[in-house]
Amino acid sequence: MYRDVVQWSKIRHLILVQGRSIRWVASEKGIDPKTVRKMLDHVLPQPRTARRANRYPKLGPHTASIRRLLRENATLPPEARRSIKSIYERVRDEEGFRGGYSTVSDYARPIATVSDYVQVRSSTMKTASGNMPKIC
């Protein structure tokens, strides 16, 4: 939250140059004393650390085949594409994956585009006369 370089410099100046106490600066500026101490430890605000990427220990040996299936999916017509559920079942049954569906889903969704795994079949929505049904 405290990434403003100007504010950071002013607080350091109040303590280091003007001799104000950490407690006084903290109460005056409405900042926790621990935060003020961090400001004293570093000349400039520290960059935010990047979030650690999700790791999939059970899925590890199967990621290559999931990526391959998703690449193949992108080349198929929409009605022939596999859902993430069918990819999960294939990896589970053929390769012995012992993790859950959500692990495969969480891994595959960012890789696949929406059109790759959502199968909208308008043909199933048509009535016997070939028209789309009215939805009231």
**What pLDDT digit, counting tens, does each position of 12-45 carry?**
999 999 999 999 999 999 999 999 999 999 888 8
pTM score: 0.48
**What pLDDT digit, counting tens, does each position of 101-121 carry?**
999 998 888 887 644 444 444
Measure the CA angle with vertex 44, ends 24 and 16; round to 5°: 35
Whole-number Å distance between alpha carbons of 30 and 101:
47
Name the 3-class secondary structure at 29. Answer: helix
Mean residue pLDDT across the chain: 81
Give the lowest-confidence range in 11-20, 50-59, 76-85, 95-104.
Answer: 50-59
DSSP state of 59: T
Ramachandran sector of residue 122 (left: φ over 0; alpha: ψ -120 to 50; beta: rest): alpha
> In sequence order, what E strands does 20-116 have?
none
What is the pLDDT at residue 51?
73
Nearest to 8 by CA among 28, 27, 36, 50: 36
